[in-house]
Amino acid sequence: MKITDRVWAFSQPVVEQLGCRLWDVEYVREGGEWFLRLYIDKDGGVNINDCEAISRAIDPILDREDPIEGSYRFEVCSAGLERQLKRPSDFEAFLGADILLKTYRPVDGVREFPCVLRGYDNGDVTVDYAGETKTFLKSQVALVRLRVDF
Domain ranges of the chain: 3-78, 88-146
Q: What is the CATH topology of the domain spanning 88-146?
A: SH3 type barrels. (2.30.30)
List pLDDT tens digits, range 28-46.
999 999 999 999 999 999 9
Q: What secondary structure letter does DSSP report for 83?
A: P
- Judged against a pLDDT cut of 90, whether residue 94 lies above it is answered with yes
Separation between Cα atoms, residue 150 and residue 100, nearest integer Å: 14
Percent above pLDDT 70 for the chain: 100
Mean pLDDT over 54-72 rounds to 95
- Judged against a pLDDT cut of 90, whether residue 1 lies above it is answered with no
Does CATH place domain 3-78 in 3.30.390.10? no
- Judged against a pLDDT cut of 90, whether residue 150 lies above it is answered with no
Strand partners, 107: 110
Mean pLDDT over 130-141 rounds to 96
Separation between Cα atoms, residue 138 and residue 24, nearest integer Å: 20
Q: What's this model's pTM, rounded to 2 decimal places?
A: 0.83
Buried (b) or exposed (e) across 75-90, using 16+ Cβ within 10 A? ebbbbeeebbbeeeeb
- Judged against a pLDDT cut of 90, whether residue 124 lies above it is answered with yes
